[in-house]
Structure 1
Amino acid sequence: MVLVMGVTGSGKSYFVNKLANGDVVQVGDDLHSYSQILEEISRVLTAQHEAGVPLKGVIYLHRITDIRYAGSSIKTLEIFKKICGDLALQNVILVSTRWNEIDEETGAFREQQLRSDFWAYMLGHDARMARFDGSRDSAIGIVSQLVSRQSIVLELQRELVDERKTLQETVAGAYVNDDLSEKRAQLEKEVWDLEKLQQRTAQNDDRAMRRQIELDRAREQRRLQVAREDEERLRKQIALEVHTEIEGKKKKKGKGLWAVLPFLPAVMGIIEMFVGIPPGSTALLTSWFSESGIGESVSDFFANF
């Protein structure tokens, strides 16, 4: 198994489709919170680890057309590093995409910036760089650099499965949770301030103003609810939940996921050509995806993270 990650629009769906030689992944456009994305990645990686499917490495995609690293891209990269951990970085390939949309000189300059700045830490821990030119041969060439290597266990997997930590106790989860705690506290204050303002203006003759305050308060309350749900999500014992679900699936006849999640078997089939996977583990893993409710959203996080 090879994990493909990157920010929205970096070309993950296109890369996997080229690798599978078909339209097996739809381009995603739904944005999720960092805690939602981290939870789904955690569940998939935990299931993969539990099922005995070897993880050969991680491919991180980045648009070479980006003039600079935006705030969201920097945060995503930090989460990515914390998911992997230093020891697993030797099985990471940092791939630049969309070379057909930029001239060689400009692209080479930005590539050097990535090498000397944003990707310097990971390259210093034996990660590698590569260019994806948009062809199937290029995609296969990148993946083939990983499938012949020794399997790895990511830091997040070790923390969740071996140490049985909750998401917020992991390095990646703690990083996401710090922002959530600050955001939740700020939203609580904003809701409180709006409630007080609503009380003071209850008898005001300006109906438009009272309506606007009501709408603002309702909006901030919804945002506060989402923030609280995100914090609660990080308190989950992911490994225990996934283990229980997988054990339940073992007692049932494996249905596989060949119809429900079409891209996974196609990609797994390619991986199986290069590396052996324990008998039955692929069906177990894909069955768990479909029946646990992740099936339809896995393609989303591949397309949005």
Structure 2
Amino acid sequence: MGATGTGKSTFINLVSRSNLRVGNGLQSCTEAVGASNSFPLDGRRVTLIDTPGFDDTTRSDTDVLNMIALFLENSYKQGTKLAGVLYFHRISDFRVGGISTRNFKMFRKLCGDSTLHNVLIVTNMWGEVELRTGSDREAELMKEDIFFKPVLDKGAQMDRHLNTAGSAEHIIRRILDNHPLPLRIQQELVDEHKSITETGAAEELNREFNERVKGIQIEMRTLREEMEQAIRDKDEETRMELEISAKKMQREMERYQNDARRLEHDYLQERQRLEARILQMESEARQGAAYYQQQINQMRNSMYTNSMYTNPHAEQMERANKQMKKANRARIAGTVALGAVSLLGALLGGQPGLF
């Protein structure tokens, strides 16, 4: 997790040899929750999950929260817990701006305090700064209450990613043996049966929406006063410019208000679509397993009838056995992966070591 452009997708591609889309600027290429190729590390199978930031350029914060929450809710329902969470931050940033602060607030609401021992804050892009400058910024991030100190005090850890596969593997090893725990939003949605709007993450999002709306309302009052003055001064050009600005602010305010209203409706709608897709995937996988089981039975009957085990029969039966097992795994993985092909953009197997 982390803001747009902090190197999440690049990190995943580097260590897992996946091919997730990577942006070259501030525009996000992570349009949905996505899964890396599963890869081995120290005898474990690891799958990394990529998420868009709450400053995503293609989706609203409401859409991003819905995608992440839906993925986490359904994976937890299927018994899959995260072994750890990596939060990415650019050490090259001159200061921690509003976007980074907002992303981290949402991150904390999603995780809660009880899982912070499984959180690793990853500072990235060290090649873009002098080592001393980066080290000074790192120390400030660790020591200041307005940055990462509160979560580090509660058990989170911090490390550097040096943009090499070895560095990425080192980071994953630091949380590979963690005891998997449910995140706060998973407990809220599944264990406590809260609606999405009752979760801490949604409350934080709505608080931000309300602050933005209030700020826009203050600006609009100032604009109206300036427009009235322009009318008195018969300054038509200024009045028209102010009117255009006022309409733009009005649309922005309405967008925030609509985002807040549609949060629960969209979440329930997407959940229904997802559950329907899961049922379809399970049905298709069961049908596939039944077909290969029928093939195996026919081969066995044929072999017994001929009173001999010929190599072709044995090879065919072995192939059918593998296909049946593959179909069964697909059925299980499809359930664990929440039918993510249609909604979240990636189908993920339920291997241990899930991040």
For 1:121-270, list aligned pairs within 5 A. 121-187=150-216, 208-209=237-238, 211-236=240-265, 238=267, 241=269, 243-253=271-281
Which structure would you say has the larger Rg?
2
Alpha-carbon offset, residue 135 of structure 1: 0.9
Cα separation, 1, equivalents of 2:231 and 2:132? 63
Cα separation, 1, equivalents of 2:264 and 2:275? 22
Q: Aligned to 1:95, what secondary structure does the other structure show?
A: strand
Q: Deviations over 1:87-141 (max 9, x none)?
A: 1101001111112222322222222222222222211221111111111122122
Cα separation, 2, equivalents of 1:45 and 1:138? 27
Cα separation, 2, equivalents of 1:226 and 1:110? 36
Q: 1:71 to 1:36 in 2, by over 3 A?
A: same
Instruction: Output the amino acid matched with 1:164.
Output: H
Cα separation, 1, equivalents of 2:170 and 2:226? 61
Aligned to 2:87: 60
User: Structure 1: any 5+ residue segments left out of the alignment?
Assistant: 257-277, 297-305
Aligned to 2:103: 76
CA contact (8 A) 1:250 1:284 kept: yes
Alpha-carbon offset, residue 150 of structure 1: 1.7
CA contact (8 A) 1:167 1:236 kept: no
Q: Deviations over 1:133-155 (max 9, x none)?
A: 11112212212332322211111
* Matched length: 269
Q: 1:165 to 1:196 in 2, by over 3 A?
A: farther
Cα separation, 2, equivalents of 1:37 and 1:91? 22
Cα separation, 2, equivalents of 1:127 and 1:186? 34
Higher relative contact order (Cα pairs below 8 Å, separated by 6+ residues): 1
TM-score, structure 1 normalization:
0.74
For 1:293-304, list aligned pairs within 5 A. 294-295=344-345
TM-score, structure 2 normalization:
0.65
Q: Aligned to 1:295, what secondary structure does the other structure show?
A: coil
Identity within the alignment, %:
28
CA contact (8 A) 2:75 2:337 kept: no
CA contact (8 A) 1:10 1:62 kept: yes
Q: Aligned to 1:173, what secondary structure does the other structure show?
A: helix
CA contact (8 A) 2:74 2:338 kept: no
Instruction: Output the amino acid matched with 2:345.
Output: G
CA contact (8 A) 2:278 2:339 kept: no
For 1:98-117, list aligned pairs within 5 A. 98-117=125-144
Cα separation, 2, equivalents of 1:112 and 1:200? 51
Cα separation, 2, equivalents of 1:232 and 1:9? 29
Q: 1:104 to 1:207 in 2, by over 3 A?
A: closer
Aligned to 2:149: 120
User: Structure 2: any 5+ residue segments left out of the alignment?
Assistant: 29-56, 286-328, 347-355
CA root-mean-square deviation: 3.3
Instruction: Output the amino acid matched with 1:94.
Output: I
